[in-house]
Amino acid sequence: MAKIDFKEKLTSENDILAAELRKQFGEDDLFALNLVSSPGSGKTSLLERTLSELGSQLEMGLIAGDVQTENDADRLIRAGGKMVRPIVTNGACHLDAKMITRVLSSFKLRALDVLFIENVGNLVCPSSFDLGEDMKVVLISTTEGDDKPLKYPAMFRRSSLMIINKIDLLGHSDFDLERVKKHARQINGEIEIIELSCRTKEGLDDWFSWLKENVRHKQSMPA
Amino acid sequence: MAKIDFKEKLTSENDILAAELRKQFGEDDLFALNLVSSPGSGKTSLLERTLSELGSQLEMGLIAGDVQTENDADRLIRAGGKMVRPIVTNGACHLDAKMITRVLSSFKLRALDVLFIENVGNLVCPSSFDLGEDMKVVLISTTEGDDKPLKYPAMFRRSSLMIINKIDLLGHSDFDLERVKKHARQINGEIEIIELSCRTKEGLDDWFSWLKENVRHKQSMPA
């Protein structure tokens, strides 16, 4: 699934739909993020924290993709999400632009500052499917291996920001913070990096600042 | 990728090759395991421990699949693996029977008791590709969410054993051991469960016993 010929990709239905989505997000001054990671790295926890801390400052729309269950969407609604839509892929290993287009008709995009798209937990396949997002954000947690950027390079190459979650658990494994940062920069010299813990809240302010700064930047751009 | 029509699957090239592999493993009295999990759940760590503790009792062959890098194969060789082969999928999100067939020609299968196939870290796509194994073993770690069996049901339905790794980190998150076991049994009433920590070695003996018992059972079966 992740092996797609470049020419084929350019002309694929997904890319045409993704381009339309990107145009729409631009017209609506909407900052759209595609959150990708392994299962269990903390995408939903990060969004829960973001909703409860920034809910009064930013209007957020959330799409929660999962192979099965609407558990993540339910968690986001409980955390205060007012515009949350689940996408259950029924076995498919990634979200695609068509799924986003379909669910987006129920959003009032004009009213939103940010759209979070929480992809299926999978470090491989989602890297090949453009969803029209402004940026991909890849999460990695300190309980995974610190060689993940080298082992899943496409995902780290295509991400603008790497969030290292669960820094409260540093020391409980051989995970080396400097090594993972070195590996990520080796794959992608431009990648930004934020370290945090959704559990203890350490570092969350860096993420909130990054997010607000990028929303401001998007809204200041000519459509 | 994970959505495959049943008829199509039955007749697919992969299933034909997998059936040939299964026949070969039977003729050679070889117990073959397909290890699947998210990235970072500890497949390689478990195999390292198994090599160092059981290396004198069982002849083990190991195939280490990764999207990129031969890091895992290198780790297994350092842990004492004498017959280790990497498969770098170059972007593909799972191993398939053709990749296994290709690499297997360099193994002396008759001399082996066990063949471990460490799949690409991915809880979705590998569930659809039979590698001729006797059993799939799914790993989950206590730093992931305890709703993984519900969110990735195909993988847990098709696995004979669920290993819950990193039990030394219980209490550092909201992971509930009883809940994950209940969820796994909800999806698959037959699944066996072993709890362990590759780091502290707690529970590893249960895994070693399970493994040796299954090797004995396989070797006692008529070819």
ipTM for this model: 0.84
| Contact assignment for B71 to A151 by CB distance below 8 Å | yes
User: Which backbone phi and psi does A83 adopt, to 5 degrees?
Assistant: -120, 85
* % of chain A exceeding 90 in pLDDT: 90
Residue A142 structure tokens? 């300190």
Q: For residues B175 and B172, give the distance between their C-alpha atoms in angstroms, rounded to a whole number.
A: 8
**What's the DSSP call for residue A8?**
H
> Pairing state of beta strands B60-66 and A135-141?
unpaired
Cβ–Cβ under 8 Å, residues B115 and B35: no
Chain B, 12 to 71: residues with Cβ < 8 Å from chain A are 38-40, 44, 66-69, 71
Residues 6+ apart with CB under 8 A from B14: B96, B97, B98, B129, B130
Q: Which residue of B has its CA nearest to A40?
A: B144
pLDDT at B9: 56
| Contact assignment for B141 to A173 by CB distance below 8 Å | no
Burial B176-206 (b: 16+ CB within 10 A, else e): eeeebbebbeebbeebeebbbbbbeeebbee
Q: Which one-letter amino acid corresponds to residue A105? A: S
Residue B219 structure tokens? 């070797």
| Contact assignment for B144 to A39 by CB distance below 8 Å | yes
- How close B146 comes to chain A (CA, Å)? 9
| Contact assignment for A1 to B125 by CB distance below 8 Å | yes
The dihedral region occupied by A203, where left means phi > 0, alpha psi between -120 and 50, and beta the remainder, is left
Q: For residues B17 and B101, give the distance between their C-alpha atoms in angstroms, rounded to a whole number.
A: 8
> Mean pLDDT in runs of 10 for chain B (223 residues)?
51 88 96 96 97 97 95 95 95 94 94 97 94 98 94 96 97 94 97 98 98 96 73
Cβ–Cβ under 8 Å, residues A109 and A29: no
pLDDT at B203: 98
What pLDDT band is residue A1 in, cutting at 50, 70 and 90?
A: very low
| Contact assignment for A173 to B147 by CB distance below 8 Å | no
Taking the model in full, what pTM does it have?
Answer: 0.89
Q: For residues B138 and B203, give the distance between their C-alpha atoms in angstroms, rounded to a whole number.
A: 16
| Contact assignment for A40 to B93 by CB distance below 8 Å | no
pLDDT at B107: 93
> Pairing state of beta strands A83-88 and A60-66?
parallel
- Which chain A positions have a beta carbon within 8 Å of B44's beta carbon? 145
Q: CA B157, B159, B163: angle at the middle one, nearest 5? A: 120
Q: Tell which residue, A102, A114, A105, has the closest CA to residue A61.
A: A114
| Contact assignment for A120 to B125 by CB distance below 8 Å | no
Chain centroid to CA B90:
20
| Contact assignment for A71 to B147 by CB distance below 8 Å | yes
What pLDDT band is residue A164 in, cutting at 50, 70 and 90?
A: very high
Q: For residues A195 and B33, give the distance between their C-alpha atoms in angstroms, rounded to a whole number.
A: 37
In a mutational test of the A interface, the residue from B4, B38, B148, B168 whose CB has the highest number of chain A CBs within 10 Å is B38
pLDDT at B8: 63
Q: Which stretch of DSSP H or E encloses residue B115?
A: strand B114-118
Q: Which one-letter amino acid corresponds to residue A211? A: L
Chain B, 191 to 220: residues with Cβ < 8 Å from chain A are 199
Mean pLDDT throughout A182-205? 98
Nearest CB to A1 within list B93, B141, B147: B93
Q: For residues A155 and B82, give the distance between their C-alpha atoms in angstroms, rounded to a whole number.
A: 32
DSSP string, A73-90: HHHHHHTT-SEEEEEE-T
Question: Is any Cβ of chain A less than 8 angstroms from the Cβ of B121?
Answer: yes
Q: Tell which residue, B206, B218, B162, has the closest CA to residue B49.
A: B206
Identify the weakest region by mean pLDDT among A83-87, A155-159, B169-173. Answer: B169-173
Q: Tell which residue, B213, B158, B185, has the closest CA to residue B36.
A: B158
pLDDT at A202: 98
Q: For residues B87 and B64, give the distance between their C-alpha atoms in angstroms, rounded to a whole number.
A: 6
Say how many residues make up chain A: 223
- How close B70 comes to chain A (CA, Å)? 9
What pLDDT band is residue A102 in, cutting at 50, 70 and 90?
A: very high
What pLDDT band is residue A173 in, cutting at 50, 70 and 90?
A: confident
> According to DSSP H, which parts of A28-173 are helical?
43-54, 71-78, 97-104, 148-151, 153-157
Q: For residues A22 and A97, give the distance between their C-alpha atoms in angstroms, rounded to a whole number.
A: 10
SS3 A223: coil
Nearest CB to B67 within list A66, A92, A152: A152
Residue B179 structure tokens? 């809940």
CA distances from B111 to B31, B82, B100 (A): 12, 12, 18
| Contact assignment for A144 to B39 by CB distance below 8 Å | yes
